[in-house]
Amino acid sequence: MFHARDATDHLSMKKFFNPFPKYLQLREILRKRMQSGYEVGDRLPTEEALCKEFAVSRETVREALRSFEEEGIIVRRQGQGTFLARRFEQRGEQRLTGMSEDYTAMKLDTSSKLLGAGNVPMPDIAKLLASPSDMVFMVKRVRYFENSPLALHYAYFPPVIGEQIQHADFEVVSILSLIATELKIPHFEEKQQIEALIASPELSELLDISVGAPVLYLSRFFRMADGAPLVLFHSYYRADRYYYSLNIADVSRTPARKSVGGAAKRGATASRGARNVQT
């Protein structure tokens, strides 16, 4: 049975908002205006003026301004109006390059929260993993970087592998390191899939982003050296903290790379990075 640490069933009861709500669009417009057209101390247009300019409700305007007030970017003064209190922080590029399983070794400030681990019925994935039944062993956890949510990770194993790792501390261990060092299974990565998605209510809740915010979905499929299915990863990364880059190698001139455990790695190599990251 799959044991969930944090119940998220209530999320299915929440209303699914328009993936591109007006307040988010208005917030970005106002952000750009304040960054380029205002000085600290300048008075912003009134809520009424913004309502007329953008043909939106006062509630939409207030929602768009709320985060700026919480961040201390703007300040409201009763009877006077709303003013730009400080500049937006100009942060340099803080992205890192490399495979996600390398970040712990790099001693970055990462941690995980385990949401559940156990056998669950998933017929399609079970078929891919050559499971003898509809069951697969699933590990679900949220990855944090510098105490802020970075990604939601799912790892799916054939039940026979799940039996061997079910007692692992998944909040600490890297799954690929566990496979290599504890199970000592030679393996290689056969396939990756990348897709741009928008955040569902559940992803919004777990990754601390708005419903409809951009999310980068990555799927990674590993096999054992003999070709048997080993593990399937599904990861959902915050697009504001993560990017993907691909380094194209000349296969005719580059010797075959070795996978963890000694099996030959097939295909191109890819690297990914985190903004502001371990599978």
Long-range pairs, 94-97, Cβ under 8 A, ≥24? 94/275, 94/276, 95/243, 95/273, 95/274, 95/275, 95/276, 96/273, 96/274, 96/275, 96/277, 97/245, 97/271, 97/272, 97/273
Question: What pLDDT score does 103 carry?
Answer: 56
Name the pLDDT band for 100 (thresholds 50, 70, 90).
low
pTM over 0.75? The answer is no
Return the pLDDT at 245: 63
pLDDT for the residue 252: 55
Which residue in the block uniquely carries the two structure tokens 């992803």?
A: 203
Distances (CA, A) of 147 to 110, 123, 188, 215, 238: 7, 35, 31, 19, 14
- Other Cβ atoms closer than 10 A to 123: 12
Is 166 within 8 Å of 137 (Cβ atoms)? yes
Tokens of 264: 């030959």
Query: Between 109 and 8, whose confidence is greater?
Result: 109
Q: Which amino acid is at 249?
A: A
**pLDDT above 90 for 123:** yes
pLDDT in tens, 259-269: 444 433 433 43
Choice among 35-39, 52-56, 245-249 with the minimum mean pLDDT: 245-249
| Lowest mean per-residue pLDDT among 150-159, 166-175, 228-237 | 166-175
Grade residue 71 by pLDDT with cuts at 50, 70 and 90: confident
pLDDT band with cut points at 50, 70 and 90 for residue 108: low
Q: What secondary structure does DSSP assign to the chain, as a single string?
A: --EESS--GGGGGSPPPPSS-HHHHHHHHHHHHHHHH--TTPBPPPHHHHHHHHT--HHHHHHHHHHHHHTTSEEEETTTEEEE-SPPP-PPP-B--B-GGGTTTTT-SEEEEEEEEEEEE-HHHHHHTT-SSSEEEEEEEEEEETTEEEEEEEEEE-HHHHHHHTTS-TTTS-HHHIIIIII---EEEEEEEEEEEE--HHHHHHHT--TT-EEEEEEEEEEETTS-EEEEEEEEEETTTEEEEEE---TTTSPPPBPTTSPBP-S-EEEEEEB----
Determine the pLDDT at residue 234.
Answer: 96
Q: Which domains does the chain have, with CATH numbers?
A: 22-84 (1.10.10.10), 100-238 (3.40.1410.10)
pLDDT at 24: 75
Q: Average pLDDT, stretch 146-170? A: 93
